[in-house]
A and B are shown apart, each in its own frame.
Chain A
């Protein structure tokens, strides 16, 4: 142990830069949360603690409507995307390469590769035509658009879970004369469940946070929370935006922690 005093893992300055990074990552978020409790109307000058901006956001009718709309869209999109992703993962995992597999993978991962603004514009063009043709301007456009870009986020954790699963249990069930549906219901599904939950939560958060695609697809008066906030940024900002942001932040943080616990492999 002659190496005392010489740490081979140490590189000068790296820890300093890393610490700067962590401070830089969290300082703006912490300030954002702190000023949501500001008693004054400024987002920079502290005037004491108060819940007033949470109350004012809660009482704001625009915020209420946007919240309900955001939740409807995110829950529907997460449900649709997760269902489609489970079926797709069952079809594309644990089998030999089949014809068209590369094309299928490209299609499923497309929302991850194509810039959001490009998809947003494409959907604007396509849905504008449908809106004119059918006269329907409801929430379904947003739900379908969100479902599409949520599919890869739901698909990846489900597929990862499926790949790590032991085939022999299902073979044993089949040997004991279980029908394919029984095997799926009694053996595959219970094992797959954490992956499905993780995928659904990711899809929910991704949908809840989306700005760009929603901004282009929504019809008049269909603001979600993020597009409402984007619109408000043009005006004088009050800590009400901080209060809404803080609530959304909390949801994301809780979801990420739950996701990390769910997708952690058993030790």
Chain B
């Protein structure tokens, strides 16, 4: 009997791996495998016309944060890279905060609608989420460019004579990222708010809490997992953003994603580009791990 069940489970295991084979082949060939090759490339020497020479070197990794002085060859901090890294982190955090400021009330508004209306409001959030990111960035671009809608209207009304320069600034990048990533903040917060037991809110008011105190002491602690999830969902793609800073920043306000691209275009330094990619990946992984730990703690507390 034991033998029989053994062969059955063996066959089940064999079938399982057979079924998984197509997905695994594609993913290893076009997702995981290339990542390992990228890590490998970051330890090679750049070729003269792009590509690499097969010589081991750790220069690319030094190049992520450091640079050699062109005159006396001493190692120093690379101001350009540090400022781009700082801008990436700063703009991503600001984007997350702005998304939270707009996203939380929106999720709350939807969650407090009558049940039948909620699906409609959620569809309004989901539609932009599945719409082409480039098109949405382009829509914002048309709104704020110098010949764009806002400036044209203001000039037509005679409020200003010269168009206000809004495009190609850090502000325009944040605006673009908030616009494209906002649904990612609303979705998880809504999911948490929908499960919120409003009897607890009522209990708070019965005990003479003010509205602000109910929000701070009752609602926020209960939906904290949703808030954390939303923040991570916005922070991670912001850190790796490429299209939005390229379109809204116009080549002056580089973020990490654009710096990486440069190494494969004009920069012709593939190993440095590879090392920068792995750095970006590491930053994102740290953010994701922090989230997994925070979510895990939350479960232990409530479980």
Residues from chain A with Cβ under 8 Å of B135 in the complex: 32, 229, 245, 248-249
The answer, yes or no, to whether A230 is at the interface (CB within 8 Å) is: yes
Complex contact B242–A230 (CB within 8 A): no
Contact with B along A58-72 (1 / 0, CB 8 A): 000000000000000
Residues from chain A with Cβ under 8 Å of B37 in the complex: 122, 125-126, 129
Bound complex: CA of A35 vs CA of B145, how far in Å? 15
Of all chain A residues, which has the CB nearest B122? A260
Complex contact B123–A260 (CB within 8 A): yes
Of all chain A residues, which has the CB nearest B42? A125
Contact with B along A227-246 (1 / 0, CB 8 A): 00110010001000110010
B260 CB, nearest partner CB in chain A, Å: 6
Complex contact A245–B27 (CB within 8 A): no
B172 CB, nearest partner CB in chain A, Å: 13
A157 CB, nearest partner CB in chain B, Å: 13
Residues from chain A with Cβ under 8 Å of B132 in the complex: 208-209, 226, 245, 248-249, 252
Complex contact A9–B19 (CB within 8 A): no
The contact size tier of chain A is 35 or more
Residues from chain A with Cβ under 8 Å of B160 in the complex: none
Given the known interface contacts A110-B32, A116-B242, the answer about A92 and B20 at a Cβ–Cβ threshold of 8 Å is: yes
A252 CB, nearest partner CB in chain B, Å: 5
Complex contact B31–A241 (CB within 8 A): no
A189 CB, nearest partner CB in chain B, Å: 14
The answer, yes or no, to whether A17 is at the interface (CB within 8 Å) is: yes
Residues from chain A with Cβ under 8 Å of B23 in the complex: 84-85, 87-88, 108, 151, 155
Candidates B15, B16, B147, B264; contact of A216 at CB < 8 Å: B264
Scoring B23, B34, B280 by chain A CB atoms within 10 A of each residue's CB, the highest score goes to B23
Given the known interface contacts A12-B211, A87-B20, A229-B138, the answer about A44 and B130 at a Cβ–Cβ threshold of 8 Å is: no
Complex contact B26–A84 (CB within 8 A): yes
Of all chain B residues, which has the CB nearest A18? B109
Contact with B along A29-49 (1 / 0, CB 8 A): 101100100000011110000
Residues from chain A with Cβ under 8 Å of B151 in the complex: 44
Of all chain A residues, which has the CB nearest B102? A21
A contacts with B: majority SS: helix
Contact with A along B1-45 (1 / 0, CB 8 A): 000000000001101110111111011111111110110010000
The answer, yes or no, to whether B164 is at the interface (CB within 8 Å) is: no
Complex contact B142–A28 (CB within 8 A): yes
Interface residues of B in 270-297 (CB under 8 A from A): 270, 273-274, 277-278, 280-281, 284-285, 288
Complex contact B243–A230 (CB within 8 A): yes
- What residues make up the interface of A, taking CB atoms closer than 8 Å to B? 6, 8-15, 17-22, 24-29, 31-32, 35, 42-45, 80-81, 83-85, 87-88, 90-92, 95, 98, 104, 107-108, 110-111, 113-126, 128-129, 144-145, 147-149, 151, 155, 202, 205, 208-209, 211-212, 216, 226, 229-230, 233, 237, 241-242, 245, 248-249, 252-253, 255-257, 259-260
- What residues make up the interface of B, taking CB atoms closer than 8 Å to A? 12-13, 15-17, 19-24, 26-35, 37-38, 41, 51, 101-103, 105-106, 108-110, 112, 123-128, 130-136, 138-143, 147-149, 151-152, 179, 182, 198, 201-202, 205, 211, 215, 236-237, 239-240, 242-243, 247, 257, 260-261, 264, 270, 273-274, 277-278, 280-281, 284-285, 288
